[in-house]
Amino acid sequence: MPEALLSARGVSVRFGGLTAVNGVNLDVHTGELVGIIGPNGAGKTTFFHTLSGVLRPTEGRLIVAGDDLTGRAPHVYAAHGVARTFQTPRVFRDMTAADNVRFALEFAGRLRKHGHDAFDDVATILGFLGLAEVAMLPAGALTPARQRLLEIGVALGARPRVLLLDEVAAGLTHTEIDATAQLIRRVRDELGVAVIWIEHAVRVLMNTVERVAVLHQGAKIADGDPRAVAKEAAVIEAYLGEEGDSARVAA
């Protein structure tokens, strides 16, 4: 196995007495498409915050492309090729959609010149996401669904090696969710980047990813092939059981 592109080693996050993330280990390699699922409050987003440098873990280390970035500022993670989206789109509302993508290209994107040039200009990225016709509109004026797409576009502008997607399909219709899942696969295939995807819409995620990690009460309780993971007793009890119908999820 080659060295992991992104490696979380024993990452814990505690807020006062509450342990949000508890000793999670996760290695992600180039080209992998990994899903992270877990019930509400399982610590998925908090874990993402540590992976992107937004939150410093209480314990544990984060290694990106061989460099230990634990405790470094988010822009250092960006310079190492970690790009992310936020659950609630955090686009620059006063800037146009085009300027949002340009911003990412101008900073994180410029720091990272590498071989993949499939998405290295504003028009290509917006076109790929179907946002070409709203390029000159202020991002704050876009519909929530389009802001979510723009979040992905901004992350692509950062020219990532690891793309972290936090519930990019939340609030979308079934058709839109399927389209987003296809889009994520295409990004992975065309850029060859690693993608880590958190999603509440478990069905689509399970069908799209090749590997899934399950977080429960801050700890990782399963990690592997989605079909195998869906059958694990601990997972069914902790997560799928809670949703009631495991057959629907595994379908």
Partner 1 sequence: MSRSTLTRMRGVPRALTLTVVAGALLAVLPWLLSDFMLSLALSCLMFAALAVSWSMFCGPTHYLSLATSAFFGLGAYVTAWGLESMPYGLTVLAGGLVGAAFAALIGVAVLHLRGAYFAVITFGLTELVLHSITYVEKTMFETAGRIISDAPENAVIYWTVLGITVLAVATAILVRASRLGFALAGIGGDEERAQTLGVNARRAKVLAFSLSAFFPGALGAAMAVRWTYIEPMSVFNPFIGFQTVLIAMVGGAQTLLGPIVSSVFFSLLTEFLRLRFPYAFLLVLGILLVVLVLYLPGGLASLFVRRARPHA
Number of residues binding to partner 1, judged by CB under 8 A: 41
- Candidate list 14, 138, 179, 200; residue touching partner 1; CB under 8 A: 138
- Does 86 contact partner 1 by CB under 8 A? yes
Q: How far is the CB of 120 from partner 1 (least distance, A)?
A: 11
- Candidate list 5, 26, 42, 122; residue touching partner 1; CB under 8 A: 122
- Does 196 contact partner 1 by CB under 8 A? no
**Nearer to partner 1 (CB atom), residue 54 or residue 65:** 54
Stretch that binds partner 1, among 11-19, 80-88, 172-180, 207-215 (CB under 8 A): 80-88
**Nearer to partner 1 (CB atom), residue 31 or residue 138:** 138
Stretch that binds partner 1, among 14-22, 28-36, 39-47, 126-134 (CB under 8 A): 126-134
- Does 197 contact partner 1 by CB under 8 A? no
- Does 90 contact partner 1 by CB under 8 A? yes
Rounded-to-integer distance, Cα 48 and Cα 185, Å: 20
- Does 102 contact partner 1 by CB under 8 A? yes
- Candidate list 52, 70, 147, 208; residue touching partner 1; CB under 8 A: 52
**Nearer to partner 1 (CB atom), residue 64 or residue 235:** 64
Reduced 3-state DSSP string for the chain: CCCCCEEEEEEEEEECCEEEEEEEEEEECCCCEEEEECCCCCCHHHHHHHHCCCCCCCEEEEEECCEECCCCCHHHHHHCCEEECCCCCCCCCCCEHHHHHHHHHHHHHHHCCCCCCCCCCHHHHHHHCCCHHHCCCEHHHCCHHHHHHHHHHHHHHCCCCEEEEECCCCCCCHHHHHHHHHHHHHHHHHHCCEEEEECCCHHHHHHHCCEEEEEECCEEEEEECHHHHHHCHHHHHHHHHHHCCHHHHHC
Rounded-to-integer distance, Cα 165 and Cα 151, Å: 9
Rounded-to-integer distance, Cα 89 and Cα 167, Å: 10
Q: How far is the CB of 123 from partner 1 (least distance, A)?
A: 10
- Does 94 contact partner 1 by CB under 8 A? yes
- Does 114 contact partner 1 by CB under 8 A? no
Binding residues for partner 1 (CB under 8 A): 52-54, 73-75, 77-79, 83-84, 86, 90-96, 102-111, 121-122, 132-138, 154, 157-158
